[in-house]
Amino acid sequence: MPVMINVTIFWSPDNDQMSYYAIYRNEIEEMIHNYDIVQADLFTFVDVEIIRQWLWDVFCREPHEVIVDEIIYN
């Protein structure tokens, strides 16, 4: 399991508003539990759409696009 997933979040369609966010292991575990993920994707560990939904729930704001920049394993 990754210890951290770094993502870039684009908040608008014209990509003029963006944020960087690090999803740590405890958030990854909570994401898996909350969204009933049975089998994770080999490379991103969870589907990018699940990460997008997680960020929407955390920030109460819909991301336009989410890009997984880095996955760090221990």
Q: How far apart are CA 72 and CA 74, in angstroms?
A: 7
Is residue 34 within 8 A of residue 15, CB to CB? The reply is no
Q: How far apart are CA 50 and CA 52, in angstroms?
A: 5
- pLDDT, the chain, mean: 87
Is residue 35 within 8 A of residue 27, CB to CB? The reply is no
The DSSP secondary-structure symbol of 3 reads E
Question: What is the domain count for the chain?
Answer: 1
Domain that holds residue 35: 2-73
Q: Is the pLDDT of residue 40 over 80?
A: no
Is residue 4 within 8 A of residue 65, CB to CB? The reply is no
Give the tens place of pLDDT for each residue, 20-34.
999 999 998 888 888
Give the tens place of pLDDT for each residue, 44-73.
567 888 899 999 999 999 999 999 999 998
